[in-house]
Amino acid sequence: MEANKNREIIEATRRRLIRTRFLVDAMLSVGIGFLASVLNQQITGGNRLWGLLVAFIAFLILTALHKPWRVSREGIARLLDQQYPSLQESSALLLQSPAELQLLEQLQYHKVTTALSAIQSPLQLNRRLRGPACWLVIMLLAAVVLGLLLPHKVEVNAGSPAKLPPALVKQEAVLPGISGVSISIRPPAYTRHPAREQHNFSLLAETGAVASWELSTGAGVGKVEFIFNDRRHVALQSNGKEHTQWKLEKVIDSTGFYQVSIDGRLSELYTLQTIPDAPPVIGIHLPKQYTIIDYGQPEQVHLRASITDDYGIKEAFIAATIASGSGEAVKFKEQRIPLNGFAPGAQHFEAQQLLALQKMGMKPGDELYFYLQATDYHQQQTRSDIQIVQLPDPAQLMSMDGLANSLTLKPEYFRSQRQIIIETEQLLKDRDTISSSAFESKSNNLGIDQQLLRLRYGKFLGDELSGETEGADGLGDIADFSNADKVRDAFTDHHDNAEDATYLDPQTKKQLRVIINQMWNAELHLRTFTPKEALPFAYKALRLLKDLQQQSRVYVAKTNFKTTPLDPAKRLSGDLSKIKAAHTQKTIVPDTDPQQYVREAIAWLNSMAVKHTPIPDNGRLLQAQMQLQQKAIAQPALYLPAVQAMKRVVSNLQLDQPVAAADILLLQKGLQSMLQMPATLPSAARSGTRVGLSKQYFDHLQQTQP
């Protein structure tokens, strides 16, 4: 009896422990599942039911790890022993039958039985639930907080067809005769938008979409037509003999508005809005618009560009032209280079490409012109700006052509730079055959030559530099600004003063300064026995010198021209008496404000709202109406209500009926939004009547305080 009771207690404890362990796993899985569900919806926009699956999987994993069912009675006995000292490490005895026990064991058995029965709710299993319960609460709270904090991801459908803004959809008045309308819009195939159907007249469609209207009239009517933009009448075809079903199909290629006419009765105006297809946009980030690949640099160009289009790019490539030769013997070679990794149909493409100039067949002295061209599915083409890459020819730089023909005076030391380059190249060739000390001394000597050359230029430029502040830049002196004499001095030549004659213009001096910098670098490398590194700088210096020389070349055609013989008596006498003073008279028609009529009309409407006045006969209302209609064709959503209001106002005025205040307000709003800010013009202040009083006062003041 006692033994049975003991076993029952232990068995009940075992079952309860198993239940508790399952419950703990279930609580943790629910927490994980809830967290996963919230994160899934917020981040990926997916379904919340995924949380259930996650919770189930988590539960399986946790139970597989914990194996809660694997709890034996012996285990329970050990647990009881650990937990309760009063059992005196003897609860295992309780599992045995008292009959099989020895005397001592029996004594202990009874003792333990008493101790066990004294224990209320063995192992305190409820406490084990506290920790997991805390975790569950924390996870639920975290899920709620994350759900509030994370931006809610809205499921975006890239190919969603256009929808009308709600403002346009509502409040559409339909002619009483029309019992139903159905408009199906088929966007062009390349937009990949599905065909759609709508039951209100205001349309928003992709450019090039085909709209087909199906109108049903309650009773048979004679004629149904659409009036587009208040000008073009298009009749609808009737389907049957009853003349109750009417049909029209039209390609929507421009914005505007239309109205329905049934046997002469006109509806209100409905908008026709298009979503235009923008041409592709090309942006070239690399290379720069004009690139020179100097001697020593790798002969390749890194191209980085981005191409974007709203519906997808159909085709994109590099159009390259190589110009080789010079003068009349220039030859052009055109190439079409595909873009690496380009696949048609993408809305955005990042181009990364290396243009190997040699592979493209470029030789020194050639120039490469290239641009990117992209085409979209609407056959709209975009070309980027033309980029120029130049590959200078060192041999050309060595040529002596053109030196003799220079018109303006230039420094005459060009040969020396060329000579230094030749000798440096020779030195590099001889490097293997001469001793290193000879190589170094030769290199150093060349460095000295380069220094001399630089110093000669420097001296030449230095002389000029000291006088530079006298030039145009000196006009910025703050203490002596806007002095006309100084301005004249700066921009005129003093021919009569030999000392003051200037040789070089500022632009030439600037370029010379750059050349000297290059020479400095070349000298540095020659002096440090690295002539190979010196060569790029020497070449650049030479190229710049060559440019300077090229700039001054001017072509003057040979003509037969006889000058009048100069009269030395008159020359430089400064006699201007026979030169007449200039008189000019011009009447300029001021550019009138094209919106003046609208400005006047809006003010007139304002007074109309207070007091009914007859329509003015100067046509300003008509002008305003025309301008408003033009605006409405371009932006129907913005100006159509005003056009409708204008029609009502004008018709009421013509019939000499009162005009609704709401119409006037609507019209004024429309007119006001098309008005631009008037120009600010100076004007005289109005100072009232010139009364004698202030004059007398002023005269009196003058007398007392002269």
CB of 577: closest distance to another protein in angstroms? 9
The binding site for another protein (CB under 8 A) comprises 476, 478-484, 487-488, 574, 576, 579, 581-588, 590-591, 596, 599-600, 602-607, 610-611, 665-666, 668-669, 671-673, 675-693, 698
- Residue 309 and residue 278 in contact, taking contact as beta carbons nearer than 8 Å: yes
Phi, psi of 681 (to 5 degrees): -120, 140
Give me the long-range contacts of 320-325 (CB less than 8 A, separation at least 24): 320/355, 320/360, 320/368, 320/369, 320/370, 321/368, 321/369, 321/370, 322/360, 322/361, 322/362, 322/366, 322/367, 322/368, 322/369, 323/366, 323/367, 323/368, 323/369, 324/362, 324/363, 324/365, 324/366, 324/367
CB of 653: closest distance to another protein in angstroms? 18
Question: d(Cα 706, Cα 699) in Å, to the nearest integer?
Answer: 10
Sheet holding 178-186, edge to edge: 196-198, 178-186, 209-217, 245-252, 237-238
- Helix or strand (DSSP H, E) at 672: helix 661-674
Q: How far is CA 458 from its chain centroid?
A: 48
- Residue among 181 and 624 whose Cβ is closer to another protein: 624
Question: d(Cα 511, Cα 464) in Å, to the nearest integer?
Answer: 13
- Residue among 38 and 664 whose Cβ is closer to another protein: 664
CB of 659: closest distance to another protein in angstroms? 15
Alpha carbon separation from 633 to 205, 637, 651 (Å, rounded): 15, 9, 21
CB of 579: closest distance to another protein in angstroms? 6
CB of 622: closest distance to another protein in angstroms? 17
CB of 682: closest distance to another protein in angstroms? 3
- Residue among 329 and 684 whose Cβ is closer to another protein: 684
- Residue among 498 and 693 whose Cβ is closer to another protein: 693
- Residue among 56 and 491 whose Cβ is closer to another protein: 491
CB of 209: closest distance to another protein in angstroms? 34
CB of 603: closest distance to another protein in angstroms? 3
- Residue among 73 and 669 whose Cβ is closer to another protein: 669
- Residue 602 and residue 668 in contact, taking contact as beta carbons nearer than 8 Å: yes
Question: d(Cα 421, Cα 536) in Å, to the nearest integer?
Answer: 10
DSSP 42: I
CB of 583: closest distance to another protein in angstroms? 5
- Residue among 141 and 662 whose Cβ is closer to another protein: 662
Token match 């304002």: residue?
606
CB of 656: closest distance to another protein in angstroms? 20
Residues whose CB is less than 8 angstroms from the CB of residue 210 and which lie 6 or more positions away in sequence, other chains included: 185, 186, 249, 250, 251, 252
Closest CA relative to residue 601, chosen from 634, 632, 626: 626
CB of 553: closest distance to another protein in angstroms? 32
CB of 474: closest distance to another protein in angstroms? 13
- Helix or strand (DSSP H, E) at 406: none
CA dihedral 686, 688, 693, 699 (to 10 degrees): 20
**Cross-strand partners of 368:** 322, 389
Cβ atoms < 10 Å from Cβ of 658 = 8
- Residue among 222 and 590 whose Cβ is closer to another protein: 590
Residues whose CB is less than 8 angstroms from the CB of residue 607 and which lie 6 or more positions away in sequence, other chains included: 613
At 346, which amino acid appears?
Answer: A
- Residue 361 and residue 322 in contact, taking contact as beta carbons nearer than 8 Å: yes
DSSP 278: P
CB of 597: closest distance to another protein in angstroms? 9
Alpha carbon separation from 695 to 684, 699, 703 (Å, rounded): 20, 6, 12
- Residue among 619 and 678 whose Cβ is closer to another protein: 678
- Residue among 119 and 475 whose Cβ is closer to another protein: 475
- Residue 187 and residue 205 in contact, taking contact as beta carbons nearer than 8 Å: yes
- Residue among 102 and 683 whose Cβ is closer to another protein: 683
- Residue among 364 and 616 whose Cβ is closer to another protein: 616
- Residue among 496 and 591 whose Cβ is closer to another protein: 591
CB of 595: closest distance to another protein in angstroms? 8
CB of 702: closest distance to another protein in angstroms? 8
- Residue among 343 and 610 whose Cβ is closer to another protein: 610
- Residue among 398 and 603 whose Cβ is closer to another protein: 603
- Residue among 158 and 579 whose Cβ is closer to another protein: 579
Q: Read off the tokens for 356.
A: 């190997």
- Residue among 161 and 616 whose Cβ is closer to another protein: 616
Residues whose CB is less than 8 angstroms from the CB of residue 356 and which lie 6 or more positions away in sequence, other chains included: 299, 300
Q: Read off the tokens for 118.
A: 């004294």
CB of 582: closest distance to another protein in angstroms? 4
- Helix or strand (DSSP H, E) at 249: strand 245-252
CB of 657: closest distance to another protein in angstroms? 20
Token match 């110093």: residue?
455
Exposure string over 447-458, b if 16+ CB within 10 A, otherwise e: bebbbebbeebb
- Residue 504 and residue 464 in contact, taking contact as beta carbons nearer than 8 Å: yes
Question: d(Cα 72, Cα 17) in Å, to the nearest integer?
Answer: 11
